[in-house]
Amino acid sequence: MKNIEIDDETCIGCGQCVEICPEVFEMVADKAMAMNPERCDECDINEAVEMCPVNAIRLGE
Ligand code: SF4
């Protein structure tokens, strides 16, 4: 399981990560949250990281 962190201060709530990885990300009060990081194998998390316009998503092990 990957450790997915979203910088709350940086996230602008564009929703792109939710569109790319709906299994993992959810919008909560206009910010993205990684609600189901264990499901990250089912989608392309690297694409979500790359597509985030403000680089708010970080991956750890
Ligand atoms: S793609 Fe980035 S800025 Fe957009 S909602 Fe997700 S974390 Fe926030």
CB 15 less than 6 A from any atom of ligand 1: yes
- CA 13, CA 30: separation in Å to the nearest integer? 5
**DSSP state for residue 10 in the 8-state scheme:** T
Span 3-60: which CATH code? 3.30.70.20
- The per-residue pLDDT for range 15-45, each reduced to its tens digit, is 999 999 999 999 999 999 999 988 877 678 8
What pLDDT, on a 0 to 100 scale, did the predictor assign at position 39?
83
At 1, the pLDDT band (50, 70, 90 cuts) reads low
Helical (H) or strand (E) element with 14: none
CB 54 less than 6 A from any atom of ligand 1: yes
- CA 61, CA 20: separation in Å to the nearest integer? 21
Domain map of the chain by residue range? Answer: 3-60
What pLDDT, on a 0 to 100 scale, did the predictor assign at position 40?
78
33 CA to middle of ligand 1, Å?
A: 9
What pLDDT, on a 0 to 100 scale, did the predictor assign at position 60?
84
1 CA to middle of ligand 1, Å?
A: 20
What pLDDT, on a 0 to 100 scale, did the predictor assign at position 41?
76
18 phi, psi to nearest 5 deg:
-65, -35
Nearest CA to ligand 1 atom 8: 11
